[in-house]
Amino acid sequence: MIYLDHAATTRTAPEAVEAMLPYFTEYYGNAGSIYGLGSASKKAVIRAKQTIAQSLGAEPNEIYFTAGGTESDNWALKAAYDTFRDKGKHIITSKIEHHAVLHTCEYLEKQGAEVTYLDVDEDGMVDVEQLKRSIRPDTILVSVMYANNEIGTLQPIKEIGEIAAEHDILFHTDAVQAYGQIPIDVADCHIDMLSASGHKLGGPKGVGFLYISKNVRLRSFIHGGRQERGRRAGTENVPGIVGFEAAANRAMRMMEEKAEYVTRLRDYLISRIEQEIPQVKLNGHRSMRLPGNVNFSFPGVEGESMLIMLDMKGICASSGSACTSGSIDPSHVLLAIGLSPELARGSLRMTLGEDNTMEEMDIVAKELVRIVEKIVKQS
């Protein structure tokens, strides 16, 4: 099998599995208990917060563990609106956000919020000038993703953060795809809230975090117990948190070397596809993109057909976000960058990891050439 869908999920790293195991069988106490067994779990959670905070240039009391990126996005947007709606009801986001943000914005609109959806250019880059023009006296939140999950484009996060800070507006970024892949400094980028998920970087599924700056006072998101300083009730997922910490440690340690290696694979695969398949279109910014992201549209070819034929050859890829798998609608991201519905349906996303090899890139390129030729001849 050749696995090229690391944006959907990653293999749990051996370091994460090893770190988690004792917290299933030996240190299984509730982190909220006062006896020794519970204290061991509590210490693990505290240590994980220290590790995560250090990776962002944040403080441990600014890290809140969640069930994943979707919950973190929901928390950031819903709590911000609920807390500051008396100040204003205007939110700014982009047209290419993950549905965890877009659907939350749609929900908030039904609660009275007014949302501006920023355009992007043909590379998927947010229009910063439009952002400036969109700011109103009642704007309370800007939410723009760090890196797009489909086309890999990196946004000018520092510039957006500076604009938000100048106008005393909260800035949230969905960094689910970026965290662990590229360096992030929340203070330098003026980020008030940041979402991340464990399973995108070798951690387990079902655990994520929301960074909330100590200068931001949000209302509680989940009510119940006093976990997470009363903001997010519920017994902590200690094994998951420990696994996330181990994966984050590993990702930070390997980041520079991995990014260099995976970028080399990415650029090689892009080059071969562009040279050997006529009229293909690379989606996303050519250089300002995630190290492992490759997204192409193939005229006259259905993406689903490519996926099925690739799968028959043992190659795992996708046509877009895993969260929209099965949808017959073309990608909202590809439509936003100007593709026609037909061309958007002919898209293929391949996201690479450190386990992939140059030999695999040759196999994938060869199979893609054969598959596209076969589909075009049959159409």
| 230 plus 92 within the same structural domain | yes
**Phi, psi angle pair for 24, to nearest 5°:** -90, -35
| 53 plus 85 within the same structural domain | yes
| 173 plus 48 within the same structural domain | yes
* CATH number, domain containing residue 290: 3.90.1150.10
Encoded amino acid at 250, one letter: R
pLDDT classification of 321: cutoffs 50, 70, 90? low
Q: Report helix, strand or coil for 341.
A: helix
Q: What average pLDDT does this structure show over 54-64?
A: 98
Q: What average pLDDT does this structure show over 76-93?
A: 97
Q: Report helix, strand or coil for 3.
A: strand
| 238 plus 331 within the same structural domain | no
pLDDT tens-digit map of 102-143: 999 999 999 999 999 999 999 999 999 999 999 999 999 999
How many domains is the chain built from? 2
* Tokens encoding 336: 């936003």
* Tokens encoding 213: 């700056």
| 129 plus 275 within the same structural domain | no
* Residues forming the active site: 323
Q: Show which of 250, 275, 293 is a domain's final residue.
A: 250
pLDDT classification of 219: cutoffs 50, 70, 90? confident
pLDDT tens-digit map of 149-170: 999 999 999 999 999 999 999 9
| 322 plus 229 within the same structural domain | no
Q: What average pLDDT does this structure show over 8-15?
A: 98
pLDDT classification of 379: cutoffs 50, 70, 90? confident
| 181 plus 37 within the same structural domain | yes
Q: What average pLDDT does this structure show over 357-379?
A: 95
Alpha-carbon distance of 372 to 306, in angstroms, equals 7
- Residue 50 has a pLDDT of 98
| 260 plus 112 within the same structural domain | no
* Residue 359, pLDDT above cutoff 70: yes
Q: Show which of 213, 228, 250 is a domain's final residue.
A: 250
Q: Helices 358-378 and 238-276 sit at what angle, rounded to 10 degrees?
A: 60
pLDDT tens-digit map of 226-276: 888 888 889 999 999 999 999 999 999 999 999 999 999 999 999 999 999
* Residue 21, pLDDT above cutoff 60: yes
pLDDT tens-digit map of 324-341: 555 568 999 999 999 999
Alpha-carbon distance of 80 to 153, in angstroms, equals 26
- Residue 150 has a pLDDT of 97
- Residue 323 has a pLDDT of 54
* Residue 70, pLDDT above cutoff 70: yes
- Residue 231 has a pLDDT of 85
* CATH number, domain containing residue 115: 3.40.640.10
CA atoms lying within 13 Å on the CB side of residue 296:
28
| 92 plus 110 within the same structural domain | yes
| 240 plus 282 within the same structural domain | no
Alpha-carbon distance of 179 to 191, in angstroms, equals 13
Residues 6+ apart with CB under 8 A from 138: 87, 88, 89, 90
| 181 plus 277 within the same structural domain | no
* Tokens encoding 180: 């662990």
- Residue 226 has a pLDDT of 81
Alpha-carbon distance of 329 to 321, in angstroms, equals 12
347-351 and 293-297: which strand pairing? antiparallel
Range of the domain at 221: 14-250
| 179 plus 284 within the same structural domain | no
